[in-house]
Every structure is written in structure tokens, then in C-alpha cells.
Structure 1
Amino acid sequence: MYSAKQLAYAPTTFAFNPASSLSATINLDEEVKLTSNNAERDLYESLAEIYSIIITLDALEKAYLKDSLVEAEYTDTCSRLLKQYTSHLQDESVSKAFGDLESFMQEWDMECPRALKRLQVGLPDTVERPSHKQQTPGTDAAHATRAVEATENFITLLDALKIGMIEKDVLHPILVDIIQAVNRFSDVDFENKGKIVQWLITLNQMRAADQLTPDQTREFSSDMTQAYTGFKQIL
């Protein structure tokens, strides 16, 4: 039935001669380069670093929740990772290729919900939500000093908005100072304190030169006024 004896095994590469149209157009022994210049190499290295930071940060958050790390070690490590993440994205080419955090994680099939939350807030959990044992002990005078510090930060922020300073790189550092100051004063969740964290997340996802829209500015000013009022109620 067959004109030739059927082989009992798959032919080796030596037994198969492909048509010339199917022949390899590259040297299979030659190293394939992913980049063609230094700029591309630096870009991919930065994106790879960001990927590693997300994975590491998620593991760090899990370890902290399990009490596998002391708070000081967690805070230092988390702060360093957040700074490295921000530093990479300050490069315009990296930021453009990166897109946004959620899209990047979806593209690379990253299941890191704890890292996502931490990167959105931009602060270690110990700073965002300090425990009672993290409160700095001191005299009544020291307690009053911390109250004044928080109050001054609120006023600085509201004054900045009044004179039209609506850039992310102006507002975000002041808002970080506010959350840190009120947490040093007390761990009480006063009324509208959560709005401070919500705006931290919003500002943290903006580019440094981005500005609030007129609607955002009005909403931000209203929310911070309410948060300031809530803070004064616990003084």
C-alpha cells in the first residue's frame, strides 16, 4: 500500500529538508538582542525594576500583616521601595511606556492587590494608619506642639489653594505632612480623616506637573476644610 517503508519514529532534522521558502532567515546560533541601543536597554531595565518593586512590595505587605517584621523595619523598607518606584517614573520615557499602575499589572498578569493599594496611597501602612503604640509619648507641651504642627499644615494647604497653587508637586508634599502630623498627634479616626487618604491616592497617581481641574480644586478645598474641622474637634 505504501511505496516506502513507514518510519516508527519522527524524522530527525537531518532527515527533513524544508523548502527554501521556510528556511530560517536568522542565524540560530546568534544571540538575539532585545534592544538596539542604550536608551531602549535603560527603558526595559527600569520597567523590569518596577515589576520587581511591585512583587517585593506585595510580599512585604503580607509579611507585615503576619507580624513577621517589626514596624520600624517595615516602614524603612516600604518607604525605600515607594521612593524607588517614584524615581523610576520620573523619567518621561519610562512613565510613557509604563502607562498606569493597574494597566501595567493587568498586562503582566500580576496579582498583587496589597502592593497596588500601597502604591496608590504612596505611604507605608504605619504612616497611613499608625497604631496606638506608635504614638510618640511626651509631655503636655510636646502634645501641644504636635497639635500646632498639624494645624499649621492644614492652614498651609488651604492657603495654597486660595492663591491658586494647584500643582500636584506642590500639594502632595503638604498633604503628606498633614497625615503624618495628625497621626503623630493622635490615632483617633476623626471625622473626614479618610478624605485625606483619598486625596493622597488621587494626587499620588498624577504626574508632578499635573494640576487639579477647577472642579477638583473646589472639591479638594471643601474636603480639606471638613477634615480640618474634624481634627479641631479632637483637640
Structure 2
Amino acid sequence: MEEVPLFDRDISLKERGLIETLSEIYSIIITVDQVEKLYLKDVIENENAYTVLTNKLLAQYNTLLSNNENDSDFKEKFGNSITEFSEKYNIIAPNGVIRLEKGIPMTVEHMSNSQSDSGMAKNNINSKHVAEATGNFITVMDAIKLNYRAKDQLHPLLAELLLSINRIGGLHSNDMSNGEKGSDRTFGENKKKLVEWIVKINKMKMSEELDEKEAKELLFDLDIAYKSFFAMLN
């Protein structure tokens, strides 16, 4: 990253602001990368603390992008993606780049070992967590029916849905298809499909929205996942 002298009169306030923004993005990438490594090594044992910290960093990153997405100078320096930005400035932080590109903590994307172990026995499934996941399924589907299409509307709802599913644990131990005609995907495959959707939505600009075809496809995938979710519980 370029070093800016504190009193360089040749650099305008706008240029200085741009460099500061790029520096902040650089710092977030490095920080997220370190957090990911610490979590993978079990140095961060509290999963909730990891989730809260990662979500905070993701929010800071997305705010910086949304505040500058219409700035041509920023687009020129940043590029079209975080991968392009990291390659341009030789940033070696693969875990951070991947996490920011996906836009969700690892605890949302994957079920942790502790969650899986705690839910392996059917009797250990927490009814409160099941109720939360059920409510989140309904909330997301209702939001789409109410014409929610923007990134800032759908991304938080999908993230909370996936996190609530992972809190239950043990759902993949008896994975099966939902029995619906026209769909033989297992619950694990349906959940993976939802992760693909949230990653796709995360890559959208704040000004972009899902079109009607995409919204119908997302609603269909949510409905299939919802039905397979209950098939797993039963």
C-alpha cells in the first residue's frame, strides 16, 4: 500500500481519503485472515465470539464497498473483486479473501464439530433451535414474496437462517431426500444450495437486485430445503 506523507501538499483530500479507504480494506483482509487461522486452530474456542467478530469485520468491509461503489477512482484502484484487489497489491491472505468473498462466517457456512457431536442423538435436538430455524425459513420466504430483492434485505436473513440451522446440529447424520416429486436432493445438498445463494447475493452491488427469475429460483430452493428440513427431523 502506498505511503502518504502527512503534509504532502500535492495530494488532495479526495486522494488521501481514497488511500485511507484502500488501507482500511487491506487491514480488514489481513485481520479476517488471522481470525480464520485462529479459529481453524481452535485458538478461538468460543464459536459465538468468532461469529460476532467476523460479522463485524464483514459489515465494515461491505460498508466501505457500498460507500464507494459509484466512485470511479475507487473502482480503478480496487478493481472488480476482492480477489483482483489482493492480486494487484500482492496481499497474501487467502483465508481472509475467501471469507470476505463469501460474506458469511465459517459457522454459517459449515456446521462445527461440536454442533454435530451435540446433535448426533435425536433426543438431543433442541426444540428452541428448531423453532428458530423454522421461523427463519418462513421469514426469508415471506420476504421474497413481499418483493425483497436487494442485497441488504436478503443477505442478513439468509445468514441468520443458515446459522440457526447449524445451531441444531446432527441433521446430516440421517441425511435423506425430502421425497418431493421432482427433487431428490438431500438436506445437505439443499443447505449447500442456500450457501451458494448467499455467496451470489454477497457479490451483488448495493444498487443491484435479484430479477424475478432469480427470486423465483431462490424461493423454490428455500421451499425444497424447508421441506427436507422437516423430513430430516422426522
Q: What is the DSSP-based 3-state SS (H/G/I as helix, E as strand, rest coil) of the residue aligned with 1:90?
A: helix
Partner of 1:233: 231
CA shift, 1:154, in A, is 1.3
Structure 1 residues 55-98: Cα deviation after superposition (integer angstroms, max 9, x where no partner): 22222222322223323453343233222212222212386353
CA shift, 1:193, in A, is 0.8
CA spacing shift, 1:181–1:206, aligned 2, 3 Å: same
Report percent identity of matched pairs: 36
Structure 1 residues 114-168: Cα deviation after superposition (integer angstroms, max 9, x where no partner): 112211222221333232434889xx8x932322221122122222222322222
**2:133·2:161 contact (CA, 8 Å) conserved in 1?**
yes
Distance in 2 (alpha carbons) for counterparts of 1:35 and 1:130:
52
Unaligned 5+ segments in structure 2 are 173-186
**2:115·2:169 contact (CA, 8 Å) conserved in 1?**
no
Q: 1:83 pairs with 59, 62, 67, which one?
A: 59
Q: By percentage of residues, which structure has more helix?
A: 2
Q: 2:100 pairs with 111, 115, 119, which one?
A: 119
TM-score by length of 1: 0.74
1:78 alignment partner AA:
T
Partner of 1:110: 91
| Alignment: residue pair count | 204
Distance in 2 (alpha carbons) for counterparts of 1:127 and 1:34:
47
Q: 1:70 pairs with 39, 45, 49, which one?
A: 45
Q: 47-56 or 216-225, which moves further after superposition?
A: 216-225
Partner of 2:181: none
CA spacing shift, 1:171–1:76, aligned 2, 3 Å: closer
**1:122·1:201 contact (CA, 8 Å) conserved in 2?**
yes
1:159 alignment partner AA:
D
Distance in 1 (alpha carbons) for counterparts of 2:171 and 2:192:
11
Distance in 1 (alpha carbons) for counterparts of 2:194 and 2:205:
19
**1:199·1:220 contact (CA, 8 Å) conserved in 2?**
yes
CA spacing shift, 1:47–1:232, aligned 2, 3 Å: same
What is the RMSD of the two structures over their aligned residues, measured on CA atoms? Answer: 3.0
- Aligned pairs for 1:32-181 (under 5 A) are 33=8, 36-72=11-47, 73-92=49-68, 93=71, 96=75, 97-98=77-78, 99-134=80-115, 143-181=126-164
**1:64·1:74 contact (CA, 8 Å) conserved in 2?**
yes
Distance in 2 (alpha carbons) for counterparts of 1:111 and 1:210:
30
CA shift, 1:54, in A, is 1.0
1:75 alignment partner AA:
T
2:146 alignment partner AA:
I
Distance in 2 (alpha carbons) for counterparts of 1:157 and 1:74:
24
**1:157·1:174 contact (CA, 8 Å) conserved in 2?**
yes
Q: What is the DSSP-based 3-state SS (H/G/I as helix, E as strand, rest coil) of the residue aligned with 2:37?
A: helix
2:160 alignment partner AA:
D
**2:107·2:166 contact (CA, 8 Å) conserved in 1?**
no
Partner of 2:175: none
Distance in 1 (alpha carbons) for counterparts of 2:51 and 2:215:
31
Distance in 1 (alpha carbons) for counterparts of 2:41 and 2:225:
32
Q: Tell me which structure has the larger Cα radius of gyration.
A: 1
TM-score by length of 2: 0.74
Any runs of at least 4 consecutive aligned residues in structure 1 with deviations exceeding 4 A, and if so which? 134-137
